[in-house]
Amino acid sequence: MVTAIIGLQWGDEGKGKVVDFLASNFQAVVRYQGGHNAGHTVYYNGQKFIFHLLPSGVFCNQSTCIISGGVVVNPLKLLEELEQLAAIDLKIENFYLSEDAPLILPFHQQLDIVFEESRYSKIGTTRRGIGPAYEDLYGRRAIFIRDLKDEKQFRSKVEILLGYYNQIFKSFAARQMKLEEFIDDYLSAGSKLNEYIADTRKVIANLLERGKRILMEGAQGFLLDITFGTYPFVTSSHPGVAGIFTATGINHKELTRVIGISKAYTTRVGEGPFPTELSDDFGKRLRDLGAEYGSTTGRPRRVGWLDLVALKYAVRINGVDEIFITKLDVLDQLEEIPLAIGYQLKRERFSDFSPAVEFLEQVKPVYKKFKGWQKSLKNVRKVNDLPVEALKYLNFIAEFLETKIRYVSVGTEREETIVID
Ligand code: IMP
């Protein structure tokens, strides 16, 4: 009944395209964690759209789109996205926003920036206030979407929380913030969003009772998971399957299929270890071939070879049933393509991944090299039409991960995809 789409790397695996490609087989698409740190790119009628909050299924008319209570929401940003769609005359008919979604308020963003610029932490965050908003949730002082419904109560809750943040800002010699700077904008956004606010657990349960198929759209990637990722260089939520259960109200028996997404190589934005990183001119070439610039922040992404050790870890913990390889066409011109199949540290060889930063910063990848196909894959639609070198590369990945590769993307458009039966 429920299928999950999980990014298996450090985010930016191409989830926007994948969800858009698969959405027509589902009656609902649910964003279950993260916030507008995500940037899911979808090409629709030749036009590029980047969704930060809305589920990437919005272009499938029959899909219900849901933002669950696990997502931290900046209502102003959500409205901007809805307006972007209204500008092309697309009103999503069935859109639900969880009343339980914690709000991102302007002081969360200021704190995110203050921390990034302090000596305490330099994570390379998207500076959108994601971490501080989740901190408030776990600190049991969060303010939720549902609070926007009662103006008086909302003002009073925000005023108290702002007092707390201004104390922190004082100790960092950062700017004091005032309620008047933003409160009216939030209330006005709240009333515009009112028609969408719902108990999404009930909406989801009701869809399942009626036998509808639901797609859970993860944001970021599993190696950025707060528990399983390369802590502290992680995001503040659970991009893996665990995040679905803490956010949507479905139970583990209802999740019947997990599709893991991986690029044909690896990228990472922000700080943190990256064993297969290419820091040389070749890395720059690969970055340009793959247009690897952040869709949310525009930052150049760090690029490197595919790391099967890390991927195997993500596949196992998320119980991945099938793999969707994206951007295989980016490797079209390369003469040789290495795949990391182990790590070496001093004299010791490791075949298992550990997210410990100290370990990953020291290991050297052990590569198996593959001959490149040096042909354009853009027009390939059938697996049998793939060059033999590309097939060897894909087959090795599937065997190493002991998981079937079901889909291969060879371009940005929805139809530039190979389905392997
Ligand atoms: P935050 O999520 O803004 O707190 O950033 C924490 C880390 O996650 C940083 O390394 C970000 O670059 C990374 N990150 C957050 N969202 C995304 C994403 O959607 N794609 C890739 N990296 C992300």
Contact in structure between 54 and 67 (CB atoms under 8 Å): yes
- pLDDT of amino acid 267: 98
Kindly report, residue by residue over 273-284, the tens digit of the pLDDT: 999 999 999 999
Which residues are paired to 300 by β-bridges?
293
- pLDDT of amino acid 92: 79
Tell me what the pLDDT averaged over the chain comes to: 96
Range 33-51 average pLDDT? 90
- Whole-number Å distance, alpha carbon 220 to ligand 1 midpoint, is 7
Residue 95, CA atoms < 13 Å, CB-side half-sphere: 22
Range 17-37 average pLDDT? 94
Pocket of ligand 1 (CB under 6 A): 10-12, 37-39, 123-126, 128, 130-131, 219-220, 224, 233, 235-236, 269-270
Contact in structure between 134 and 100 (CB atoms under 8 Å): no
Per-position b or e across 168-189, b if 16+ CB within 10 A of its CB: ebeeeebeebeeeebbeebbeb
Range 69-89 average pLDDT? 94
φ, ψ (nearest 5 deg) of residue 418: -105, 130
Residue of 373 and 297 predicted with greater confidence: 373
- pLDDT of amino acid 42: 86
Kindly report, residue by residue over 210-244, the tens digit of the pLDDT: 999 999 999 999 999 999 999 999 999 999 999 99
Q: Tell me which of 40, 53, 269 to substitute to probe ligand 1's pocket, judged by most ligand atoms within 8 Å of the beta carbon.
A: 269
- Whole-number Å distance, alpha carbon 233 to ligand 1 midpoint, is 9
Spatial separation of the C-alpha atoms in residues 206 and 221, rounded to whole Å: 29
